[in-house]
Amino acid sequence: MLYLITNGQTDTITATEKKEKQIKGWSFGAVPAIAFDSDIGFKYGAAVNLYDYGNGTIYPDYRHSIYLEWSRTTKGSGINQITYDSKYLIKGIRFTGDLSYFQEQALDFYGFNGYKAYYNHDYEVENNVNYISRMFYRIDRQLLRAVLDFQSLRKNKNLQWILGYGIYDNTIGKVDISRLNEGKDSDKLLPVVNDSTSLYEKYKTWKIIPEDQQQGGTTQLIKIGLVYDTRDNEANPMKGIWTEALLLLSPSVIGNKYNYAQMAISHRQYFTLKKDVLNLACRIAYQGKIAGEMPFYMLPFLFSSNKPTRDGLGGAKTLRGILRNRIVGEGMLYGNFEARWKFLRTKFLKQNFYIALSGFSDIGQVIQFYDFNKTNIPVDYKIDFDDEKIHVGYGSSLHFVLNSNFVLNFTYGRTNNVQDGNSAFYINLNYLF
């Protein structure tokens, strides 16, 4: 990994007991996106986060943040994302805007309702007697997302209101095997996808996924809510709470085909165990449908007040160590518990820099099941494989933090239930919450 950093000025002003420099002007961190996957090809690109600290008097808060990510794989997947966040663009309002286009050729799809959906890793393992395809639990999804969020900034008030609007245009299809097979040796070719080599194709054939949802669709969401925030720092709070309640509306009056409402409630609390060094971060959250009918392609989205998402429970952004999107239903409860130890503080190229180590445990469960048509399912298929119960992931992360806000994470997570996978390694920006 490579850091590229700069800032507008370098005057030193003592701002904390640690005598950290008060950063002025613009600063940025950049991470190249370089990886290889035998199926989706070579990945290249970069993620950059720019921060404007103004004259430095508000540091470690910032005036403006711009996040940019552009990456491609040689076989057609890609991320195109720009996110802007500021408390100073509109007086008395925090504005967050996101415009993204995600081309995901092999997005995880394991069915619905957690453990009730049977997962067999052998289907994906070559040379296994039960092997079907490495793409058996995958779909192709093209997602265009635009989000505008507004949060009040009432002076000396911890309780603020939230208003937002988002549009999510999903295009769903089977994995393009012919494209993924381009350039492969004959012994590495993926089997041609048909109704027996893709879970998604099976679900279409059995009418589990309604015909008018099988290719995706467009959903417009209106967000209304309240947030109570007493955190001492946003990037990695040492103390305080952040509690929010959001009402998510998809009304037909603005052009939605499916009319429904959801509630998202989240409580985060941060405990200082040793000042400036060790803290405990906890999050308990619920999201569920309260009215109407949701299309299947909107189930794997979790919402918060200022962070757009495209995933359900499982994976780097929610339950680490568990398969991405493994836990999908109409209502989900989840929690994250993480101890964070800042064991080294220093200056790096005249910038404030620290390294932290954390250990975590993540849990989640579907508590409102997604109801679907079961009349066409073969009697020998395990559609209700097991009772749903708590899914558990755990592991540790190493964090490299520049000027309190640019956070690069190396995370290893595990799970002990084979129905949730085995282990995973992630490289991401920012703390989980």
Number of compact structural domains in the chain:
1
| Cβ-count burial 87-112 (b if 16+ within 10 Å, e if not) | bbeeeebbbbbbebebbbbbbbbbbb
Question: What average pLDDT score do residues 104-108 get?
Answer: 91
Tell me the pLDDT band of 39, cut-offs 50, 70 and 90: low
Question: Residue 188 falls within a domain, yes or no?
Answer: yes
Give the residue carrying structure tokens 């994976």. 315
E strands, 251-326, where?
260-274, 278-292
Residue 387 domain-assigned? yes
Residue 206 in any domain: the answer is yes
The residue ranges of DSSP E strands in 109-182, in sequence order, are 138-152, 159-173
- Whether the per-residue pLDDT at 431 is higher than 90: the answer is yes
pLDDT of residue 236: 84
Answer for the pair 140, 216: CB distance below 8 angstroms, yes or no. Answer: no
pLDDT of 13 reads 35
Task: Report yes or no: 432 and 52 within 8 Å, Cβ to Cβ.
Answer: no
48 compared with 197, residue with greater pLDDT: 48
Per-residue pLDDT band for 261 (boundaries 50, 70, 90) equals very high
- Give the 3-state secondary structure of residue 186: helix
DSSP run (H or E) holding 45:
strand 41-52
Among the listed residues 307, 363, 358, 359, the one whose alpha carbon sits nearest the alpha carbon of residue 332: 363
pLDDT score at 8: 39
Is residue 234 scored above 50 in pLDDT?
Answer: yes
- Check pLDDT > 70 for residue 350: yes
pLDDT digits (tens, 9 = 90+) for 321-336: 999 999 999 999 999 9
Q: Check pLDDT > 90 for residue 195.
A: no
Does 256 fall in a domain? yes
Residue 19: pLDDT band by 50, 70, 90 thresholds?
low
Helix (H) or strand (E) holding 9: strand 6-9
Q: How many CA atoms lie within 13 Å of 278's alpha carbon, on the beta-carbon side?
A: 4
Indicate the DSSP class of residue 129.
T
Mean pLDDT, all residues of the chain: 89
| 202: nearest Cα among 126, 112, 141, 298 | 112
Give the pLDDT score at 308.
74
| Winning range, highest mean pLDDT, from 22-36, 304-318, 411-425 | 411-425
Terminal C-alpha separation, the chain: 23
Residue 1 lies in a domain: no
127 or 183: which leads in pLDDT: 127
Q: Containing domain of residue 180, as a range? A: 6-429
The CATH number covering residue 251 comes to 2.40.160.50
Give per-residue pLDDT as tens, 264-300: 999 999 999 999 999 999 999 999 999 999 999 999 9
Which of 191-195, 336-340, 399-403, 428-432 is the least confident region? 191-195
| Residue 248 in domain | yes
Distance CA 220, CA 339 (A): 37
**pLDDT at residue 223 is higher than 90:** yes
Please give the backbone phi and psi of residue 174, each rounded to the nearest 5 degrees, phi first: -75, 160
pLDDT at 396 over 90: yes
